Amino acid sequence: MPPPAALPVVAAIGTTHPFASTGLLLEMAALRELGVRPVAVVAGVSAQDAAHVYARRALDPETIAAQFAALATADVAACSVGALVDAASVRAVATGVTALGVPVVCDPVIAATGGDRLADDATVAALRSTLFPVCTLIAPNLDEAGLLLGTRLRTLADVHAAMGRLLAFGSRAVLVTGGHLPGDPCDVLADGRRVIELRAPRIAGTLRGTGSLLTTAGDDLDAALDRARAFVRERIARGLPFAGMRVAY
């Protein structure tokens, strides 16, 4: 492994989770395992467990901006954006990543696994209008894609029909992760030139934080998706029970 100074630097941006089973803390651990040097911008703090979100609080835009300013000498190569919990923090993050001028991958976490909302309607609107246009890739799951579009996606045909509308939010590419579809999971990727299905046999069990893991694992889009999907599948297979959840670490 190269010395730490030679490692590519990836900024993880998002909201903390007390159990580190998803969100910013999990992303930091995943980035280290993937052989890059993680740095962080904390945009929010949450209090949640396996079933409920008890509290969520965004940091103020000035503090978010100051964290981006502090990274000016870090030579950040890419950004991974996770849960953002109010519209002002979305706008601050969009400004920060735009100034960095590097590829940005976003896992738009709108609701926790237990179903409680993390992002209200104003936050979702800010994601669509402010952050997504500066993203290289957005990677909503089936439910998140439906919430972004104000509809419900139930079938693979629904996902295909939705890809153009999701791309219209402005990101260069969209990956809708299909773990919630019946049968073997099928992710769908669209980048304006193609819409392709990425299939794999289903692995028994569930895992918290799969979106966080997926969006930390890559650079070049096709190679990144192959690596990221393999990384997530291996973590699902290795998942362990913890505090009423099944987690990766």
Domain boundaries, the chain: 4-247
CATH code, 4-247: 3.40.1190.20
pLDDT band at residue 102 using 50, 70 and 90 as cut-offs = very high
Judge contact between 15 and 56, C-beta under 8 A. Answer: yes
pLDDT greater than 70 at residue 244: no
Judge contact between 221 and 191, C-beta under 8 A. Answer: yes
pLDDT greater than 70 at residue 103: yes
SS (H, E, C) the chain: CCCHHHCCEEEEEEEECCCCCCHHHHHHHHHHHCCCEEEEEEEEEEEECCCCEEEEEECCHHHHHHHHHHCCCCCEEEEEECCCCCHHHHHHHHHHHHHHCCCEEECCCCECCCCCECCCHHHHHHHHHHHHHHCCEECCEHHHHHHHHCCCCCCHHHHHHHHHHHHCCCCCEEEEECCCCCCCCEEEEECCCCEEEEECCCCCCCCCCHHHHHCCCCCCHHHHHHHHHHHHHHHHHHCEEECCEEECC
Q: List, for residues 44-90, the tens digit of each pLDDT value.
A: 999 988 888 899 999 999 999 999 999 999 999 999 999 999 999 99
Mean pLDDT throughout 171-190?
A: 83
pLDDT greater than 80 at residue 116: yes
pLDDT averaged over every residue in the chain: 84
Residue type, 222: D
pLDDT band at residue 217 using 50, 70 and 90 as cut-offs = very low
Which residues sit opposite 48 in a β-bridge?
Answer: 53
Smallest Cα–Cα separation from 238: which of 211, 194, 189, 203? 203
pLDDT greater than 80 at residue 248: no
Mean pLDDT throughout 26-34?
A: 87
